[in-house]
Structure 1
Amino acid sequence: MTSTRMPFFSVVIPTYNRAALLERTLASVFAQEETDYEVLVVDDGSTDGTLELLAGQGERVRVLRQHNAGPGVARNAGIREAKGEYVAFLDSDDVWFPWTLATYRKVLREQGMPSVVMGRSLDFAREDELSVVRREPEQVVLFPDYVSSSGDRTPRTACVLAVKTEALRRVEGFTAARIAGEDHDLLMRLGLEPGFAWVRAPVTMGYRKHPGSESSSMEKSHQGTVYQLMQERLGRYPGGASREKERLELMLYGVRHVSHWLLSLGRTELALDLYRRSLPFHRVLPRWRYMVGFPAKAAWVHLRQRVRGRRAEASPE
């Protein structure tokens, strides 16, 4: 699993107060068919039994510790210490399937060692939901770089990544901002690194759905989307004017998804804030259906909420 020579993969797992789930996550790593890897767990200032759990793992895990600074900073600590040619990221509440790293390595070899590999996840709330997952034949779509994938509307799973270590260091890893969607921001900054392999099959990760999931925070999802828009406005994503429309296709697809999601959850103010902030970018493409239709939809949702609120106030106890 670990050896004196350089491993092919460095598995980086940030964690904070998830001792009860981390053990299952690590078990899914140790069950990998591919054995040429090292495991780095970055403890982000946990106050539960995480360090005790990790101490029991022996030499199978390298443990890094830091004061609580968020998952982006924790992952960057792992990137700095990684010895592998590729870094594979896994969150401490999610799980891999036995074939995950073997699939990534096979794809990397067959596709000319692209800079970025992105897998596919399956949402689950109970462990028994994973029992239906079977190992399917590999289905891979290859692009010259990540930005080139802008026209593909297949839903993306940006939390399932294996990336060349040197490319991660070149773009300085993850943002330190405590936002949801920091993995999408990373992909945008990796946008012109040569080679992007998108593994459509088999499923490579189980994404645990629970109240503690970062993406369940509406405010953080809003902040993360705003952050990406700001980075684009400041010219911090690669490609310049010649790749602008491709970048906007990628980014605004996410904006529309998040704004509709926020609206469905009754957060009209956050949804409309995203709409307003993204409007100048939508005019570049443009996306008239969203530009014209979203405010009307938001007004209808707001009106419906007010009517329901008044009915609730008027109804007898």
Structure 2
Amino acid sequence: MLSNNTDCSLTEVKKSSNAIDPLPPDVDRPMWSVMIPIYNRTIYLEQAIASVIEQMREYAAERIQIELIDNCSTNPEIEFLIQRLAKQHRISVYRQPQTVSMVENLNTCIRRAHGHLIHILHDDDIVLPGFYQSLEAAFTQEPSIGAAYCRHGHIDENNRQQNYLSSLERSTSGIIPNFLKRIAVYSLVDPPAMVVKRSVYEHLGGFRPELYGACDHEMWRRIAAHYPIWFEPQVLACFRVHSRSQTSAFVRTGKNIVNMRQSIETTRSYLPKSTAERIAKRAMEECALYALRNAFRVLSRGDITATKAQIREALKCSYSLKVIVALFLVPFLAVASSLKRYLERNRE
């Protein structure tokens, strides 16, 4: 049951710049639209595309749309690369007339998608064999779902697996019960793991421009407030963590936490009034703890600017006992981590 607050927010979405119009009835509709937003970066693009193409070889051409959405790149290497990739594979290219915000480029991906299912794959992430087959099966088996995602891991610049796996929401494939209560508190889904029906974006709108670095977190929460979400426990996608990412730039300024805090405030309107305050408070505490984990990580690398930014924004989220204890542990853990790496290097 939607709250009055949620109904109002949907009305606002319909009038806003992130509204997604339905496609004309005479448009040919493939099953899949794999949309890849790009801007200037070439280093990982071929790998991202290859991870899609390898799985799509058995699909008839009319069942898939693969399109690069270039945000008016200024890097001359991009043009040569995408022309070669377009000829080599059955993919199309759309170039923005001028550079727009990252969020507007994501919404362009949605608007240009013709498929019933939309997968937005950032140019530095990859999907693993079985991703499209498994998630398409989810929508076939349970037509009521609005989105589906898989368990996923992190990789670094050199494709090495990092010590991270997303949480195991259930041991078998299926709908996650009471998912909104969990995702309203925790950031559970990285973008390459998520597939959304186009009709859901048409109903709820696209990504919110004002949330920028946390626009995906808010989008998944918005969907969870209105539709069942399916979980696939196989690890079928990888999110890349590297210094060239937009996320890394946000960490240095603290903007990642600013956006996450804004996302939590926005999510209040999707929650039942009786629990909204309690859930938002837990979410703010978790956001602060996440910021302090970032602070530990960047301090162990010697990045004082990023450390200060993450601590500053953490304390704007919460002053809970957990947060204060974690704050005092940051320098000790960072020193221990640096010492461990020093000893490992000298042992070699």
Task: Calculate the aligned-residue CA RMSD, in Å.
Answer: 3.5
Deviations 1:130-164 (A, max 9, x none): 9xxxxxxx833522564143499795434421011
1:215-226 paired onto structure 2 within 5 Å: 215-219=247-251, 222-226=254-258
**Deviation of the 1:231 alpha carbon:** 4.3
Change in CA separation of 1:210 and 1:260 when aligned onto 2, cut-off 3 Å: closer
**Aligned residues of 2:69 and 2:93 also touching (Cα < 8 A):** yes
Look up the SS of the partner of 1:207 in the other structure.
strand
TM-score (ref. length: structure 2): 0.69
> Where does 1:186-265 land on structure 2 (aligned, <5 Å)?
186-201=219-234, 203-219=235-251, 222-233=254-265, 237-244=269-276, 245-246=278-279, 248-250=281-283, 252-265=285-298
Among residues 136, 151, 163, which one is paired with 1:120 in the alignment?
151
Q: Is the 8 A contact 1:179 1:220 kept in 2?
A: no
Q: Pick one of 54, 64, 77 that aligns with 1:31.
A: 54
Secondary structure, counterpart of 1:32 in structure 2: helix
Q: How many Å separate the matches in 2 of 1:38 and 1:254?
A: 36
Q: Distance in 1 between matches of 2:252 and 2:202?
A: 25
Residue type of the alignment partner of 1:168:
Y
Of the candidates 269, 274, 289, which is equivalent to residue 322 of structure 2? Answer: 289
- Against the structure 1 CA distance between its residues 251 and 100, is the aligned structure 2 distance closer, same or farther, given a 3 Å change threshold? farther
Once the two structures are overlaid, the 10-residue window that deviates more, 205-214 or 37-46, is: 205-214
Distance 1:163 1:237 in 2: 21
| Structure-2 change in CA distance of 1:278 and 1:77 (3 Å) | same
Q: Structure 1 length as normaliser, TM-score?
A: 0.75
Per the TM alignment, residue 42 of structure 1 is displaced from its structure 2 partner at its CA by 0.7
Change (3 A) 1:96 1:275: closer
Residue equivalent to 1:87: 118
**C-alpha contact (below 8 Å) 1:86/1:163 kept by paired residues:** yes
1:72 maps to 103
C-alpha separation between the residues in 1 aligned to 2:293 and 2:316?
A: 15
Q: 18, 22, 26: which one pairs with 2:41?
A: 18
Q: Residue 151 and residue 189 in structure 1: after superposition, are their counterparts in 2 closer, same or farther (change >3 A)? A: closer
Deviations 1:215-253, CA, capped at 9 Å, x for gaps: 323536831322232344467642252451445545643
**How far did residue 70 of structure 1 move?**
3.6
Contact 1:25 1:96 in 2 (8 A): yes
The 10-residue stretch of structure 1 (169-178 or 7-16) with the greater mean CA deviation from structure 2: 169-178
The number of aligned residues is 287
- Structure 2 CA distance for partners of 1:221 and 1:238, relative to 1, 3 Å: farther
Q: Deviations over 1:277-311 (max 9, x none)?
A: 212xx7xxxx5423x42444468789x8xxxxxxx
Q: Per the alignment, do residues 260 and 112 of structure 1 end up closer, same or farther by CA in structure 2, a change over 3 Å counting?
A: same
1:269 aligns with 308
1:157 and 1:78, CA in 2 relative to 1: closer, same or farther beyond 3 A? Answer: closer
Q: CA deviation at 1:22?
A: 1.6
Shift of 1:104: 0.7
Q: 2 CA distance for matches of 1:274 and 1:192?
A: 27
Gaps of 5+ in 1: 131-137, 305-317
**The residue matched to 1:83 in structure 2 has which SS?**
coil
Indicate the residue corresponding to 1:180 in structure 2: 213
Greater displacement, 89-98 / 234-243: 234-243
| Partner of residue 51, structure 1 | 79
Distance 1:151 1:218, change over 3 A: closer
Deviation at 1:173, TM superposition (A): 1.3
The separation in 2 between residues aligned to 1:70 and 1:183, in whole angstroms, is 14
Q: Using a 3 Å threshold, how does the CA distance of structure 1 residues 119 and 71 change in structure 2: closer, same or farther?
A: farther
- Comparing 25-34 with 36-45, greater Cα deviation is found at 25-34
